Amino acid sequence: MPEMRVAVSGSGNMGQHVMAAVDAAPGMQVVGVLDGLAEAETIALPGGADVPLLHSVDGLDSLEADALVDFSNAVWTEALLPHALERGVRPVVGTTGLSDAFVDQMVEQSVAAGVGGVIASNFALGAVMMMHLARIAAPHFEAVEVIEQHHDGKVDAPSGTAMTTAREMRAARGSDFRRNVAERETLPHARAAEFGGVTLHSVRLPGLVAHQEVIFGGVGETLKLRHDSISRESFMPGVLRALREAESLDHIVLGLDRLLGLVD
Ligand SMILES: NC(=O)c1ccc[n+]([C@@H]2O[C@H](COP(=O)([O-])OP(=O)(O)OC[C@H]3O[C@@H](n4cnc5c(N)ncnc54)[C@H](O)[C@@H]3O)[C@@H](O)[C@H]2O)c1
């Protein structure tokens, strides 16, 4: 079997880990990297080989890639993804901050083109399990809050994982959660953001990677679900799995949980 030719979009923290993971995975090779803000013409893979570093969306065309792994920025992803689908390149997208309308449009485009792919707000298997358990608990509790914690380089808030968790807990419950609204807020936004009655707190600090706690409140009890990505390597098994499974898909699947068969 020929090796899967993988283009990597984004050469930041996640892009570097993706390059290393794909480079080391049997049956796959990194054929090039796309990054709209980078300046160099080539980039060295951890194994030592240099591959082209391209600065425009059109750069994808020269790479003859079978698949694309994108961890970059929503502005860039919204230009690159339609282009990849038009060319039959299977996308595995982890970039967060994408609008719901854009994601829906990409699923439609993938169905029309018959191109498989995965868009997931979290590729860590433990985080996917945490979200699954939160969905199971959601119908049985009246109130819940989410505290997500990330490194201080993160540009969007709340995190994609926190938004997905809130959306899916709200859907599993079928109605908004009951939420305490402060009668008097001595500082604006002290009660944080809200979606479907779920309060969402975003912590940004150096030293953190990606962490989330979901706290359900009931009568005389609380239930806490917590996940910690202590290294960005935690996302790589999910990314490699998505790359392999996308080969046999004919549309974009949303979420690693669907790929793992945890939800329909
Ligand atoms: N789905 C997941 O499991 C998961 C896990 C971690 C991070 N992420 C997401 O992946 C993305 C990247 O994270 P990171 O930690 O590597 O960030 P980073 O800042 O280290 O890297 C971002 C990369 O995108 C490029 N970029 C930024 N703005 C751009 C623009 N306007 N046009 C073109 N390129 C641009 C930068 O040059 C850089 O290479 C973020 O959206 C983050 O939230 C997702």
- The CATH code of the domain that includes 90 is 3.40.50.720
Ligand 1 atom with the shortest distance to the CA of 123: 3
| Measured torsion, CA atoms of residues 64, 256, 36, 114, in degrees rounded to the nearest 10 | 40
- Whether 110 and 132 share a structural domain: no
pLDDT of residue 48: 87
Cα–Cα dist 56/34, whole Å: 7
Return per-residue pLDDT of the chain as tens, 264 residues.
789 999 999 999 999 999 999 999 999 999 999 999 999 999 999 888 999 999 999 999 999 999 999 999 999 999 999 999 999 999 999 999 999 999 999 999 999 999 999 999 899 999 999 999 999 999 999 999 999 999 999 999 999 999 999 999 999 999 999 999 999 999 999 999 999 999 999 999 999 999 999 999 999 999 999 999 999 999 999 999 999 999 999 999 999 999 999 988
Domain shared by 11 and 36, yes or no: yes
Nearest CA to ligand 1 atom 38: 12
Tokens of 34: 């796309």
Q: Let me know whether 111 and 141 are in one domain.
A: no
Domain membership of residue 260 (yes or no) is no
Residue nearest to ligand 1 atom 5, measured at CA:
122
Please report which helix (H) or strand (E) contains residue 32, including its range. Answer: strand 28-34
Catalytic residues: 150, 154
Per the structure, the complete domain to which residue 205 belongs is given by 125-230
- Nearby residues of 49 by Cβ (< 8 Å), 6 or more positions away: none
In a domain, 242, yes or no: no
Q: How far apart are CA 24 and CA 165, in angstroms?
A: 32
Distance from Cα 77 to the centre of ligand 1, integer Å: 10
pLDDT on residue 110: 98
Q: Work out which ligand 1 atom sits closest to the CA atom of 14.
A: 16
Q: How many domains is the chain built from?
A: 2
Please choose from 60, 73, 149 the residue to mutate so as to test ligand 1's pocket, defined by most ligand atoms within 8 A of CB. 73
Q: Do 81 and 130 share a domain, yes or no?
A: no
Distance 94 CA to ligand 1 centre (A): 9
Alpha carbon distance 67, 90 (integer Å): 4
Q: State the distance from the centre of ligand 1 to the C-alpha of 148, rounded, in angstroms.
A: 18
Tokens matching residue 222: 């609380």
Residues 129 and 111 in one domain: no
Strand partners, 199: 145, 194
| Atom of ligand 1 at shortest range from CA of 72 | 24
Are residues 109 and 62 located together in one domain of the fold? yes
Cα 11 to ligand 1 centre (Å): 8
Which of 115, 144, 177 is the endpoint of a domain? 115
Distance 252 CA to ligand 1 centre (A): 20
Q: Is the domain of 111 the same as that of 130?
A: no
* Residue 246: inside a domain: no
Q: How far is CA 164 from CA 60, 63, 90, 202, in A?
A: 30, 33, 23, 14
Domain membership of residue 45 (yes or no) is: yes
In this structure, are 103 and 46 located in the same domain?
A: yes
Nearest-atom index, ligand 1, CA of 238 = 3
189 shares a domain with 94? no
Ligand 1 pocket mutation, candidates 72, 130, 209, criterion most atoms within 8 A of CB = 72
Question: Is 245 part of any domain?
Answer: no
CATH number for the domain including 222? 3.30.360.10
Residues with CB under 6 Å of ligand 1 are 10-15, 35-38, 71-73, 75-76, 94-97, 120-123, 153-154, 235
Are 12 and 97 in a shared domain?
yes
Q: How far apart are CA 218 and CA 220, in angstroms?
A: 6
Q: Contact at 8 Å (CB) between 149 and 212?
A: yes
